[in-house]
Amino acid sequence: MQIITSLRDIKEQTEKLRSSGKTIGFVPTMGALHQGHLTLLETAAEQNDLSICSIFVNPTQFNNAEDFKLYPRILENDIEALKKSRCAMLFAPSVADMYPETLQLKFDFGELETVMEGKFRPGHFTGVAAIVSKLFHAVRPHKAYFGQKDLQQYAVINRLVTDLSFDLELVCHPIIREADGLAMSSRNRRLSEEQREQATQLYKALQLASGLSKAHTVAEVKEAVSKHLQPFAAIKLEYFEVADVNSLQPLAEFDASDRVALCIAAYVGEVRLIDNVII
């Protein structure tokens, strides 16, 4: 596996690959890789001539300085994991290379940003859109892979690609879970044993909500989720939302014709986790 750390070098390499007719599948990540990331890479390798992974803990998408500081950074381990995967190239740039100057540009994704992650993490999607744009320019992939775990991020990037005419295809990959249902996340590493155990309740709450949605109102389902999580001392629910899967706008009622996303965000101890199911 080739490891590239400068913007100039990645541009040169991907330019060569493109001009020799190779198709590039790209998986942008913030590292602390787990099976979720590796599955995206596996899919990228299968669907393209080669796969490229980026690892960059992007400062502009953190609205909480402590979260940025504590975000797990284990590049050496990640390199070992990538060497065993079908990743052809790793791009791991520095902050100075990606942001030679303070980012001034602000994105406005309209309604999409007024709910859930957009509402609770102001500025987050401007940081995401900026780094993803920079990475797309550098890697120039034919296909880029994102996880359904960050459903709203996928919707934002889809908007970005459409509105700015990025010449690539986006792929939304299903959520990879631990055996007990917890959605894999780099942040899970920060959970204590007890918190890790309680964290499984987030997916349990989503499953409960999914079951209840067939015969109950949105208000009743919300009430049931909040009640379900109450006994778990480590968990502080930030939101549980019933949303249209494309617009991500909240739905007041279930309608058989809607594709609905049940989305949850909660603190487990100090660690903020998100998850969703589509019904």
Residues that bind ligand AMP (CB under 6 A): 29-30, 36-37, 40, 146-147, 149-150, 173, 175-176, 183-186
For residue 19, the minimal CB distance to ligand AMP (Å) is 28
> Is 37 noted as a catalytic residue in this protein?
yes
For residue 252, the minimal CB distance to ligand AMP (Å) is 28
Q: Which is nearer to ligand AMP, 212 or 245 (CB)?
A: 245
CA–CA separation, 260 and 122 (whole Å): 24
For residue 196, the minimal CB distance to ligand AMP (Å) is 15
Q: Which residues contact 243 (CB under 8 A, 6 or more apart)?
A: 115, 116, 249, 250, 251, 260, 261, 262, 263
Burial class (CB in 10 A: 0-12, 13-18, 19+), 50: middle
Q: Which residues contact 239 (CB under 8 A, 6 or more apart)?
A: 116, 119, 120, 263, 264, 265
For residue 195, the minimal CB distance to ligand AMP (Å) is 18
Q: Which is nearer to ligand AMP, 171 or 212 (CB)?
A: 171
Q: Which is nearer to ligand AMP, 238 or 258 (CB)?
A: 238
CA–CA separation, 80 and 116 (whole Å): 35
Contact between 60 and 106 under an 8 Å Cβ cutoff? The reply is: no
CA–CA separation, 79 and 90 (whole Å): 8
Tell me the CA distances in angstroms from 45 to 30, 140, 213, one per residue in order: 19, 16, 37
- Active-site hit among 37, 124, 173, 228: 37
Torsions phi, psi for 86 (to 5 deg): -95, 35
CA–CA separation, 182 and 271 (whole Å): 14
For residue 233, the minimal CB distance to ligand AMP (Å) is 25
Cα 149-260-61 angle, rounded to 5 deg: 35
**Residue with nearest beta carbon to ligand AMP:** 147
Q: Which is nearer to ligand AMP, 37 or 143 (CB)?
A: 37
Q: Which is nearer to ligand AMP, 61 or 195 (CB)?
A: 61
Catalytic residues: 37
